[in-house]
A and B are shown apart, each in its own frame.
Chain A
Amino acid sequence: MSYGLRVWNASGSLRLDTTDFIGRLIQTGQVYIFLNPYSAQFNTVNVSVPGMSNDGTWFVSALGSPVISINNGFFSMTNYNAQSSFFLDPYIFKYAVFRI
């Protein structure tokens, strides 16, 4: 027997089905990823998230479009923003960690 929650709105549009996972917000924050225009093009910062694992149930959205890698207990954000290397300012990345 299938189970789970199925939710429609008042107009009959499906908002949640029994097979859906809409991503619960687990953690938010922001990090500074400094860029050195005279050495490495990309720089990476690790963010600790208790319980996180690379099991296909976690994902991260971030403002600034870094490359995201998910690991056990943390994720990493790599600044893939080449043009920012022209600025010596740190680049602030806001992030949100979700789990399905």
Chain B
Amino acid sequence: MAYGFLALGQSGRVQIDETYKNARLFTSGYANTQEFFGQRYPISVPIPDNVDAPLVLLRPSAPEVWVGAVRTRPRMSTGGSASVNMEGTGPFYYAIFDTNISPISDGNSFGLRVLTSSGAETFSSNYRYPRISSIHYKPASSALGSGWPVNSPYIYTISGHTFMPWILGNTLVGNNGEGVGDDTEQVPCAYATINSTFTQLKVAKWNQEGAGARNDTVLWNPYGNRDTYFGVARYVE
């Protein structure tokens, strides 16, 4: 006899089941940052070296605050602990999830807990999960391919949000800046923001500042001739 647990959401897709585990929140915070003379400054959050593949959500503190340039860095053989770096034109919240790191727990002794047949946990109401609302495809042939400045961003329509949603940070890539040339060979990064009615996700490439900055060329565009995707979520603190 088949047995287990399966919850289907309104679209008929699987929400949780007894087979696949989920990424859980292990750290979150508020980055009180701002742009200064057109320059954005990275916030660095240390993460455990045994992190698997961190899922990063960013939430602008207000509409039209741009967030992004996410750099998830492993522990390098040349030194330095694992970290997540990110930037914003104003304050923003961040939440980082992983499948391997011990999650933040509410510490409750009751609720819903779903286990696999081998006893591993796939879901617990004690933990917080990235509640993904929508994923939006960006084809390689779109305007994002070669140029998409902040004054002409790529715009996706989103729906169902009555308060500021979270933005999937992993595809808002930033340069990792490892080692030699760290300060002088910066390249464009990706940023996103939400409009005032929470109905638009805007994505743009934002050039870096500084001597030796390599801007505005397809070669240095992270999405030049590549398709990718962007997303929004409803993570609740």
Contacts and interface: CB of A to CB of B under 8 A. Distances in A.
Q: Do A and B bind each other?
A: yes
Contacts of A63: 51-54, 72-74, 82
B168 interface: yes
B9 A69 contact: no
Nearest to B7: A5
Contact of A22 (B8, B56, B73, B130): B130
B175 A4 contact: no
A83 B99 CA distance: 28
A24 B18 CA distance: 10
Contacts of B79: none
Given A20-B234, A83-B182, A65 B173 contact: yes
B contact face: mostly helix, strand, loop, or mixed? loop
A24 B229 CA distance: 18
A19 B160 contact: yes
B231 interface: yes
A2 to B, nearest CB: 6
Contacts, number: 218
Interface in B156-184: 160, 168, 170-171, 173-182
B17 A67 contact: no
Contact of B52 (A15, A81, A96): A96
A61 B175 contact: no
A57 to B, nearest CB: 7
Contacts of A68: 170-171, 228-229
Interface stretch (B33-41, B87-95, B131-139, B145-153): B131-139
Contacts of A81: 175-176, 178
Contacts of A18: 9-10
B126 A64 contact: no
B9 A67 contact: no
Contact of B20 (A5, A11, A17, A26): A26
A72 interface: no
B60 interface: no
B25 to A, nearest CB: 11
Contact of B185 (A5, A82, A96, A100): A82
Given A68-B170, A82-B185, A25 B22 contact: yes
B211 interface: no
A21 B226 CA distance: 26
Given A28-B53, A61-B170, A16 B15 contact: yes
B129 A25 contact: no
A54 B223 CA distance: 17
A80 interface: yes
Q: Top 7 nearest A-B pairs by Cβ distance?
A: A24-B20, A5-B7, A10-B108, A96-B53, A22-B129, A20-B131, A61-B55
